Amino acid sequence: MGNARVNNTHGHIGSSLLRGFGDDLPLDVWLKTKMWPMEAKFTAETIEAAASLAILEMLKSGTTTFLEMYHLHLELIANIVDQSGIRSVLTRGMIGLCSPLEQEKKLAEAIELNKVLRSIGEGRITTMLAPHAPYTCPPAFLEMVVQEAKKLSLPIHIHLSETAQEVQNHIDTYGKRPAIHLAELGVFEVPALIAHGVHLDAAELDILSQYEVAVSHNPISNLKLGSGIANIPKMLERNILVAIGTDSAASNNNLDMFQEMRMAALIHKGNQENPTVVSAQDALLMATYNGSKALQLEETGILKIGKEADFIVIDSQKPHLQPNQQVISHLVYSASGSDVIDVYVRGNCIIRNKQCLTLDEEKIIFEANRAFRNILS
């Protein structure tokens, strides 16, 4: 494949230990009774165990680059990125529902981290500024973030319009829809990548297209949390750059980009009762080349002489990949992450014959279970 890098463009690997801890619940009940009380108990040990587990899982299922939005212990995550050999875009998620002083402190920390994180991992780590969402970041704070993003030439990553309720609340509070509001606040004047984009109207899609905002489509998380189905066919009609992300293992519940890509190719056909929307080729591009562009790693997103070689090898001898002539179709509609046998990042072999050469799998699985038991008790 010319488009070789597999990019998971949105996630929160710090929360990976909450996989399966509370499914099938209303969103507010899940957050208030499951996620938040557990997250309050997270320590450095939790984050390190969670990030190690997630990076191992991603590498073994063929992901070569991931974007992380998290608010705790990003240096620890960067160290695991360094050790593992994976490529990463690390963003310090900032919730601005606090005093201006605390807002400034968070932003200063993000700016400082920007330098620290990029110094780790021999160039495999880049950063963005990540105000969490329009509903958690007041307008004045967003304007501060935009100012710094411009000054530092950093892209912005932000959640946008994941649920119908948050959009309605935004309209009730500000009298306008969130994407329009973000455009007015200047958020789209720097390169921007929004996550979800489930509830966007035509005027908002026009705005995203006009400002060349990229979208991280997270179909499985959006289904599982009951958020809805993003209108990807309408985005593609407008030439909006659509990439794919898994979101957290707490709402997915795995980090398999093949399953995400397959869902992206399937869900819109059924939802719109039209089998011609989002072709296999579209979905493959979303998971690979579009992701590189969305992560501002376009220069290294193609496998050719002079570019950095990130690529994966698939075991094409599996029964579910026969007859073996329809390669793109099988990659999108038939394969899963477990068909990956080798993974290379920057020319270095990280997974060989399904074994991780850089991380200790047995130890990571042991530590993940220990760390989970520690926050349970």
Cβ-defined contacts of 266-272 (< 8 Å, 24+): 266/333, 267/219, 267/223, 267/229, 268/229, 268/231, 268/232, 268/233, 271/229, 272/233
Cβ-defined contacts of 296-301 (< 8 Å, 24+): 296/89, 296/126, 296/128, 296/155, 296/191, 297/5, 297/7, 297/65, 297/87, 297/89, 297/126, 300/5, 301/3, 301/5, 301/7
Q: Is residue 269 at the binding interface for a second copy, with CB under 8 A as the rule?
A: yes
Cα gap 376→374, rounded to integer Å: 5
Residue among 229, 303, 309, 313 that touches a second copy (CB under 8 A) = 229
Cα gap 25→3, rounded to integer Å: 38
Residue among 83, 136, 209, 271 that touches a second copy (CB under 8 A) = 271
Contact region with a second copy (CB under 8 A), list: 31-39, 66-74, 124-132, 329-337? 329-337
> Across the strands, what pairs with 129?
92, 156
Cα gap 301→127, rounded to integer Å: 17
Q: Which of residues 338-357 bind a second copy (CB under 8 A)?
A: 338-339
Contact region with a second copy (CB under 8 A), list: 136-144, 175-183, 217-225, 342-350? 217-225
Kindly state the smallest distance separating residue 309's Cβ from a second copy, in Å.
Answer: 25
Nearest to a second copy of 100, 226 (CB atom): 226
Q: What is the DSSP code (8-state) at residue 33?
A: I
Contact region with a second copy (CB under 8 A), list: 84-92, 102-110, 174-182, 334-342? 334-342
Contact region with a second copy (CB under 8 A), list: 22-30, 97-105, 151-159, 237-245? 22-30
Q: Is residue 174 at the binding interface for a second copy, with CB under 8 A as the rule?
A: no
Q: Please report, in angstroms and rounded to a whole number, the separation of the first and last CA atoms in the chain.
A: 47
Which tokens in the block code for residue 331? 């990659």
Angle at 327 between CA 325 and CA 332, to 5 degrees: 140
Q: Which of residues 34-73 bind a second copy (CB under 8 A)?
A: 53, 56-57, 60-61
Q: Is residue 326 at the binding interface for a second copy, with CB under 8 A as the rule?
A: yes
Contact region with a second copy (CB under 8 A), list: 21-29, 174-182, 231-239, 291-299? 21-29
Q: Is residue 273 at the binding interface for a second copy, with CB under 8 A as the rule?
A: yes
Which tokens in the block code for residue 61? 């299922």
Nearest to a second copy of 51, 113 (CB atom): 51
Kindly state the smallest distance separating residue 229's Cβ from a second copy, in Å.
Answer: 5
Q: Which of residues 114-173 bind a second copy (CB under 8 A)?
A: 164
Among residues 90, 82, 94, the alpha carbon closest in space to that of 127 is found at 90
Contact present, 328 and 2 (Cβ < 8 Å): no
Cα gap 229→266, rounded to integer Å: 11
Q: Is residue 284 at the binding interface for a second copy, with CB under 8 A as the rule?
A: no
Nearest to a second copy of 169, 209 (CB atom): 169
Interface residue list for a second copy (CB under 8 A): 17, 19-21, 23-27, 30, 53, 56-57, 60-61, 164, 219-220, 222-229, 249, 252-256, 259, 263, 266-267, 269-276, 279-280, 317, 319-320, 322-326, 329-330, 333-334, 336-339, 361, 364-365, 368-369, 372-373
